[in-house]
Amino acid sequence: MPGTYIPINYLPILIILFVTTLIGLGPLLIGIIIRPKRPYPQKLTPYESGNPPIGEPRQRFSVRYYIIAMLFVVFDVEAVFLYPWAVAYGKLGLYGFVEMMIFIFILLVGYVYAWKKGALEWE
């Protein structure tokens, strides 16, 4: 009954959550407590025997990556939807077919739009 519902079947998941947290954090905590601490500048660099680091890692990078990423998400979602549709095709029948064609058509419009706007060119 909703409102008084206690998800008892999910109890193992809760236990797993606790156990994994313990396994993950436990060794780190033990390490912090028992390891010797003798830091010196060379030891604190990211690559002790590599190149000396130049500048900050947080730089601005080209906005074009965002466009590529967005296009990727759009077409990735399309693929994600296509798989279950293909598996359940027999049950969905004509209705499912028409729905999927409409979905693909809308994405196609987006594709043509992105293409013509030059979003796929890197220059």
Partner 1 sequence: MVLDNTILLGIRLISPELILICTGLFLLLLDILIKRKETVAFAGLIGIFLSIWVNLKLSSLGLSGNVFSGMFVFDRYGSFFKLIFYITAILTILISLRYLTIQKGGIGEYYALILFATAGMMFMASASDLIVLYLGLELMALSTYILTGILRGQIRSNEAAIKYFLLGAFSSAILLYGISLTYGLTGTTNINEIASSLQALNLLKSPMLFLGLIFFIVAFGFKIALVPFHMWAPDVYEGAPTSITAFMSVGPKAAGFAVFGRVFFEAFGSLHLEWSGILITLSILTMAIGSILAIQQTNLKRMLAYSSISHAGYAILGIISATPEGVSGMMNYLLIYTFMNIGAFAVLIMLNSEGVRGEELSDYEGLAKTHPLASFIMLIFMFSLTGIPPTAGFMAKFYLFMAAIKAGYMPIVIVAVIFSVVSAFFYLRVVMYMYMKEPKGEVALSTSGSLNLALIITAAVTLLIGIFPSVFLEIAKASVGGL
Which residues contact partner 1 (rule: CB under 8 A)?
A: 1-3, 91-96, 98, 106, 109, 112-113, 116-117
Contacts of 11 (CB under 8 A, 6+ apart): none
- Least separation in angstroms between residue 104's CB and partner 1 is 13
Looking from the CA of 69 toward its CB, the CA atoms found within 13 Å total 5
Nearer Cβ to partner 1, position 5 or 40? 5
Nearer Cβ to partner 1, position 2 or 24? 2
Nearer Cβ to partner 1, position 29 or 115? 115
- Least separation in angstroms between residue 81's CB and partner 1 is 16
Looking from the CA of 100 toward its CB, the CA atoms found within 13 Å total 18
- Least separation in angstroms between residue 88's CB and partner 1 is 11
Nearer Cβ to partner 1, position 11 or 112? 112
| Coil, strand or helix at 119 | coil
Residue 86 to residue 55: CA distance in whole angstroms: 50
- Tokens 């419009």 map to which residue? 109
